[in-house]
Amino acid sequence: MATLRLGDIAPDFRAESTQGTIDFHAWLGQGWGVLFSHPADFTPVCTTELGATARLADEFARRQVKVAALSVDPLDAHHLWVADINSTQGVSVGFPLIADPDRQVAQLYDMIHPNASERTTVRSLFIIGPDKRIKLIITYPASTGRNFQEVLRVIDSLQLTAAHQVATPADWQQGGEVIVLPGVSDVEAETRHPDGVRRVRPYLRYVKQPG
Ligand code: BEZ
- The tens place of each residue's pLDDT in the chain, 211 residues long, gives 678 999 999 999 999 999 999 999 999 999 999 999 999 999 999 999 999 999 999 999 999 999 999 999 999 999 999 999 999 999 999 999 999 999 999 999 999 999 999 999 999 999 999 999 999 999 999 999 999 999 999 999 999 999 999 999 999 999 999 999 999 999 999 999 999 999 999 999 999 999 8
| Residue of 4, 10, 46, 122 marked active site | 46
Ligand 1 binding pocket includes 138 (Cβ within 6 Å): no
pTM, rounded to two decimals: 0.96
Entry field: residues in the chain: 211
DSSP letters for 24-91: HHHHHTTSEEEEEE-S-TT-HHHHHHHHHHHHTHHHHHHTTEEEEEEESS-HHHHHHHHHHHHHHHT-
CB atoms < 10 A from the CB of 58, how many?
8
Nearest CA to ligand 1 atom 1: 45
Q: Cα separation of 198 and 158, whole Å?
A: 22
Nearest CA to ligand 1 atom 7: 142
